[in-house]
Amino acid sequence: MSNNLSSETVGVAPDYSKKECWCKLPEISKDVDTFYIYATEYIMGSFAEGAPDFASLDNTEMLQGAEAEYNLHASAYVDSTNLFMPYYRQSGLKYAGEMARKTGTADAAFEGMPINDITAALDYYFENYNGGRPFIIAGHSQGSAMVLVLLRTYFKDHPEYYSRMVAAYPIGYSVTDEYLAANPHLKFATGETDTGVIIAWNTEGPKNLETNAHNLVVLPNTRSINPLNWKLDETYAPASMNLGSLMANEETGEPEIKDVGADAQINLARGVVITNAKGEPMDEETANAAAEFFGPDGRHNEDYLFFYNNIKDNVAKRVAAFMREKNPIWNTGCRKM
């Protein structure tokens, strides 16, 4: 679909009954859905003089970024699920950084307009699109921060929806011990196929660990699960366990599945996944901005890319496990009509 949103939706709350307010609306062909919330795509434009704190629905940088994120991140869910992805008026990276410096986390930047838009999209999705199917809720970065808000608020208030949640993948944001203690209805994943759980990690290179670098998305007492061996301890997962990374072809720039040596090991003290794989090349301006927000050896942009095929495989396994647990009739080859 075109990214040209109608003028009446620009600068005001999106109307999710209109298809142009959705980045992706699927043809229903699977028995499980994914509701995906994209990351901060209003990035460099947010630093321009006089730029607003939030992106309007016609913000070109955000629209193009959301489409790219579908191809590079959200597409990992498409083989197993019907993927729904709404547009929303998101916080810019500059404003998120300002809030983090003031409060210790970027969470305040996502309150108000962004979470209100996403809540409205979720309401419309459940009332008009979901049809009672099980679902995954997923995102990256800012999108994952809002997944975590929704898990502790919206889904606590809607247990009838929450009971159908296969899993939540708020990748690239911190799930802390304090968050889990305050929300006992939520559980962090303990393995490869448990369901109704939170699956998350933040990825860094060795230098961030060595220098205890500041990283906007890494909070104290955060947890990660290893996306290669699906363990919570510091067991090293070699790159031979990686089923394929989604990286740019050096000649064409198009994404392709490659072996880039993306290994993974949790560092429990910092609560992150450490990899020795190198990130995608960046121009100097982008690299400097990334280092300021995610540390000199951050791998935030590669949270999905390095482990793309392992994520895709894991989604399929959790969906299958959920169907076995919740819908035993499916094991007979029959389906409820």
Total domains in the fold of the chain: 1
Residue at 99 is within a domain: yes
Place of tokens 């975590």: 148
Residue at 45 is within a domain: yes
3-state secondary structure of 126: helix
3-state secondary structure of 72: helix
Residue 88: both structure tokens together: 């929303």
Per-residue confidence (pLDDT) for residue 301, from 0 to 100: 93
Residue at 36 is within a domain: yes
Residue at 336 is within a domain: no
CA atoms within 13 A on the CB side of 166: 30
Write the burial class of residue 317 (CB in 10 Å: 0-12 exposed, 13-18 middle, 19+ buried): middle
Residue at 88 is within a domain: yes
3-state secondary structure of 239: helix
Q: pLDDT tens for the chain, 337 residues: list them.
A: 334 443 334 367 899 999 999 999 999 999 999 999 999 899 888 889 989 999 999 999 999 999 999 999 999 999 999 999 999 999 888 988 899 889 888 888 888 889 999 999 999 999 999 999 999 999 999 999 999 999 999 999 999 999 999 999 999 999 999 999 999 999 999 999 999 999 999 999 999 999 999 998 999 999 999 999 999 999 999 999 999 999 988 888 899 999 999 999 999 999 999 999 998 777 777 777 788 889 999 999 999 999 999 999 999 999 999 999 876 554 434 433 2
- Nearest residue to 88 (alpha-carbon basis) of 66, 109, 68: 66
Per-residue confidence (pLDDT) for residue 327, from 0 to 100: 64
How many angstroms separate the first and last alpha carbons of the chain?
Answer: 31
CA atoms within 13 A on the CB side of 52: 11
Q: What angle do CA 323, 329, 332 make, to 5 degrees?
A: 105
Residue at 256 is within a domain: yes
Write the burial class of residue 299 (CB in 10 Å: 0-12 exposed, 13-18 middle, 19+ buried): buried
Residue at 3 is within a domain: no
Distance CA 219, CA 106 (A): 10
291: Cβ contacts below 8 Å, ≥ 6 apart: 298
Residues spanned by the domain of 113: 17-326
Distance CA 53, CA 89 (A): 10
166: Cβ contacts below 8 Å, ≥ 6 apart: 32, 134, 135, 136, 195, 196, 318, 319, 322
φ and ψ at 107, to 5 degrees?
Answer: -55, -40
Go through the chain and tell me how many residues it has. Answer: 337
Residue at 134 is within a domain: yes
Residue 198: both structure tokens together: 């939170």
The pTM assigned to this predicted structure is 0.91
Distance CA 196, CA 161 (A): 11
Per-residue confidence (pLDDT) for residue 65, from 0 to 100: 94
Per-residue confidence (pLDDT) for residue 69, from 0 to 100: 95
Per-residue confidence (pLDDT) for residue 23, from 0 to 100: 97
- Nearest residue to 98 (alpha-carbon basis) of 291, 261, 243, 292: 292
Chain centroid, CA 211 distance in Å = 26
CA atoms within 13 A on the CB side of 69: 27
